[in-house]
Chain A
Amino acid sequence: MNCRDVQRYVHAFIDGELEPQQALTVESHLESCTECSHAVAFERWFKGELRRSVGPALAPTELPDRIRVALGRAERRDQVRVLLPKAGGFAALATGVAAALLLPGWLTPAAGGPRRDSPRPIIDCVAERHAHVLPVEVTGPDAGSVSQWFQDKVDFAVNPPAFGNGQVQLVGGRISPVGDRQAAHLLYEHRGRRVTVVVFDGSGMVLSGAHAERVGPRTVYYGESRGYPVAVWQQGGLAYAASSDLPQSDFVRLVSSVQ
């Protein structure tokens, strides 16, 4: 190794980026070459000088609090992210549909885990709600009276969806929020199995990433959380999210039969 080589590698050398063998060669050259050894010492000195002049700064004292607030806000926003208008939503929606077309067999976990923009929070939220058996505040099975009960409680019309086969009974309903939106929580029963449907204002909602299926005029997004199948769809500006104890195939059939 000559002086030129050392000069070429001097930065990698002082940064500890040379292979041990290369570093040894440089060192042995430095022992016999005063000029290069000065050059290396200079580079080391300069590196230190840089660090001393550009060292880490002290963050303003109020910054940690500001960040805590921002994180709290971000978290709440993320929980209902799927509800908020989002730039590029249409593209994401198209991707979701395409993915469903490409991946037959819904509920197959997408490669690489849940996508950031998949409607996870809603799916989790609904499955969670379904898992806990909550008392109803208004009882069915008359959809009309249930609908009426909600009238002065939420600012949208709650029309409990009817499932096609007529064997699903509306047990009742209660109020419970989804994220920061008010929502109507409806409970059904089908052959002793519970079906939960949560209805809320779906304006601006973007659904994407989940497995989607066309059912008549609607696109239904399927997911799974806590071992419960979940379906999400939109109708008349409202969002419907359903979960159930039913086996997946029965649940899909049930959701497909929504009128």
Chain B
Amino acid sequence: MVWGRANRRRKDFEKASLEHLDSLYGMAVRLTRDERDAEDLVQDTYVRALRFQDRFEPGTNMRAWLLRILTNTFINRYRRRQKERQLADQLEAGPDQEALLSTHAQAQLRDPEKQLQIGILREELARAVDELPDEFRVAVVLADVYGFSYKEIASVLDCPIGTVMSRLHRARRALQARLMDQAIAAGLVSRHPSAELDSERAADLAAYRRRRGGAA
């Protein structure tokens, strides 16, 4: 019977796909920032994946395929809130800050003797990731946690690779600045002697726009 065949197909799918549950759940938590929403999102993802399973090419990376469905489901279903959109616009339009942290600051953060304390800031870092606008968060998490290639991220976000690169770049810079702020606040890193660079980084978007507007 049709039912029996479909049933077996589903069981196979279930077995193969549930191996990636932790990955999917982790991503869902990052995306929704809420454990219950994350569970719902993961469940929706599995149902959609089952429905589209004939589009999965056997032998290719199933985890990547599932993560792509999860992210697409999230982007389509959980529309960005207005606030996030504004944030996204800011990050997109903001100055492309290169060499954000001074070499001195970088060295302090990476100081092997401070790693235990810096590790305490990881929670802060995770929170900072959560606060990134969707597109940036997706790019950073897929690249850094799940090891997606730029091409894969571009296909998930349906944008050019160049956009992925710029989002990753900006997202990481923003996160690094945040980590630095936290480290300074925690007294783990001193501002000196890179105060100049740090204050330059702190210059807000409005000021930047004023400058740019003034120059135009």
Interface presence of A191 (CB below 8 A): no
Q: Report how many residues on chain A are interfacial, defined by Cβ distance under 8 Å.
A: 46
Q: Is the CB of A128 within 8 A of B2?
A: yes
B73 contacts partner chain A, Cβ-Cβ < 8 Å = no
Taking A7-B98, A39-B99, A51-B144 as contacts, is the C-beta distance between A70 and B46 under 8 angstroms?
A: yes
Does B88 have its Cβ within 8 Å of any Cβ on chain A? no
Given known contacts A64-B18, A128-B2, is B125 in contact with A53 (CB within 8 Å)? yes
**Complex CA–CA separation, A49 to B111 (angstroms):** 13
Residues of A within 8 A of B34 (CB): none
Instruction: List, in ascending order, chain A residues with CB within 8 A of B54's CB.
Output: 113
Minimum CB–CB distance from B24 to chain A (whole Å) comes to 8
Q: From B176, which residue of chain A is reached at the shortest CB distance?
A: A46
Residues of A within 8 A of B146 (CB): 56
Majority-rule SS of B interface residues: helix
B186 within 8 Å of A (CB atoms): no
Binds A, one of B78-86, B164-172, B188-196: B164-172
Cβ–Cβ contact A39 & B106, under 8 A: yes
Q: Is there an interface contact between A78 and B125, defined as CB atoms closer than 8 Å?
A: no
Q: Could you show 16 A-B contacts with beta carbons less than 8 Å apart?
A: A11-B172, A12-B150, A46-B109, A50-B145, A50-B175, A52-B119, A54-B125, A56-B26, A56-B145, A63-B39, A70-B46, A75-B10, A78-B51, A79-B3, A79-B6, A125-B2
User: Which A residues fall within an 8 A CB radius of B?
Assistant: 4, 7-8, 11-12, 15, 17, 35, 38-39, 41-43, 45-47, 49-60, 63-64, 66-68, 70-72, 74-75, 78-79, 113, 116, 121, 124-125, 128
